[in-house]
């Protein structure tokens, strides 16, 4: 069962209205920023269309009229989309309509995206394909143009109120380090002081525990938070060395996110060694 979030309500209400009016399109785009519960939004929309109770988990659902598609490693591959297309042309069996839910749709590789486009151009009747992504603009323009798009409005005030209900201490600085994302702040950064962790990296004689912290927190999330700290430092005291390291940091994060062959531990240790070298060249207050 996915946890409901108050900021999803407007999108789900709009979909429910279109469904009631019989005006719901075949292709539906769900745009939800990272850390705002895209998976939960996709789950809720799926159950709404299948007319199933909200306490079900679509990822675990064995249903003849539903398919859940998620990345295999770092990508959604062409074979997954071919299976989706084959399912889409079938006749619904027990549900009022067939539903396909695609998580992180921006991770379709080029061949997969072009294969899906063929189905979106001539959608089968009584079938709805939900494409959920935090990066709507990374989808092919031809795919975006065939979707009715719904975007979750990421309101800071609503997020702060929700975090307070979750007993998570809130501060603008900590919220910024978490990427202005309430779920990230609750689940990964509630008890992690990013500034203190970065200082530990600069002085550590061994990196094993720090690497474990990064992997447990989520290396891409932690590296993104580290990047935001560097940008804040740049705004106070511009430094070319710091800027060059920030670029290395982003490259490492991208490599970890997009390649199944990356050795995360080695990539992090390399970055930590580099930070120790950089820290020695920075003014004391910036290191």
DSSP letters spanning 32-91: --TTS-HHHHHHHHHHHHHT--TT--GGG---TTEEEE--BTTBB-HHHHHHHHHHHTSP
DSSP secondary structure letter of residue 100: E
**Tell me, what's the pLDDT at 45?**
97
CATH 3.40.50.300 fits 6-154, yes or no: yes
Q: Which long-range contacts (CB under 8 A, 24 or more apart) does 153-162 make?
A: 153/7, 153/10, 154/7, 154/33, 154/36, 154/180, 155/7, 156/180, 158/6, 158/7, 159/7, 162/5, 162/6, 162/7
What architecture (CATH level 2) is domain 192-280?
A: Up-down Bundle (1.20)
Task: Report residue 4 as tokens.
Answer: 């409901």
**Tell me, what's the pLDDT at 281?**
82
Phi/psi of residue 149, nearest 5 degrees:
-95, 135
The CA dihedral of 227, 233, 238, 242, to the nearest 10 degrees, is -40
**Tell me, what's the pLDDT at 286?**
42
Nearest one of 212, 166, 204, 32 to 105, comparing CA atoms: 32
Rounded Cα distance, 277 and 274, in Å: 5
**Tell me, what's the pLDDT at 23?**
94
**CATH 3.40.50.300 segments of the chain:** 6-154
Intra-chain end-to-end CA distance of the chain, in Å: 44
Rounded to two decimals, the pTM is 0.79
- Mean pLDDT by runs of 10 across the 287 residues of the chain is 85 96 96 95 96 91 95 92 96 94 96 95 94 96 96 92 91 85 86 85 93 88 88 79 91 85 91 93 59
Neighbours of 215 (CB within 10 A): 14
Locus of tokens 């603009």: 137
Rounded Cα distance, 245 and 88, in Å: 47
**CATH 1.20.272 segments of the chain:** 192-280
């Amino acid at each position: 069962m996915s946890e409901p979030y108050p900021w999803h309500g407007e999108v789900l209400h709009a979909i429910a209205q279109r469904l009631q009016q019989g005006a719901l399109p075949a292709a539906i785009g769900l745009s939800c920023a990272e850390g705002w519960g895209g998976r939960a939004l996709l789950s809720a929309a799926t159950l709404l269309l299948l007319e199933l109770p909200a306490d079900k988990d679509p990822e675990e659902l064995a249903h003849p009229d539903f398919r859940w598609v998620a990345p295999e490693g770092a990508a959604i591959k062409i074979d997954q989309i071919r299976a989706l297309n084959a399912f889409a042309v079938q006749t619904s069996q027990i549900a009022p309509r067939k539903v396909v839910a695609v998580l992180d749709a921006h991770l379709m590789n080029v061949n997969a995206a072009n294969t899906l486009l063929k189905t979106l151009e001539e959608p089968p009747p009584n079938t709805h394909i939900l494409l959920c992504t935090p990066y709507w603009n990374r989808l092919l323009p031809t795919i975006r143009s065939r979707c009715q798009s719904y975007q979750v409005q990421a309101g800071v005030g609503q997020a702060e109120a929700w975090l307070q209900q979750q007993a998570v201490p809130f501060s603008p600085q900590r919220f910024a380090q978490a990427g202005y994302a309430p779920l990230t702040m609750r689940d990964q950064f509630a008890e992690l002081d990013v500034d203190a962790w970065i200082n530990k990296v600069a002085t550590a004689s061994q990196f094993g525990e720090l690497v474990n912290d990064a992997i447990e927190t989520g290396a891409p999330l932690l590296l993104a938070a580290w990047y935001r700290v560097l940008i804040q430092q740049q705004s106070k005291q511009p430094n070319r060395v710091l800027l060059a390291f920030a670029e290395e940091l982003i490259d490492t994060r991208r490599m970890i996110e997009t390649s199944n062959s990356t050795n995360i531990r080695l990539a992090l240790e390399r970055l930590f060694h580099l930070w120790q070298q950089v820290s020695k060249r920075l003014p004391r207050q910036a290191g």
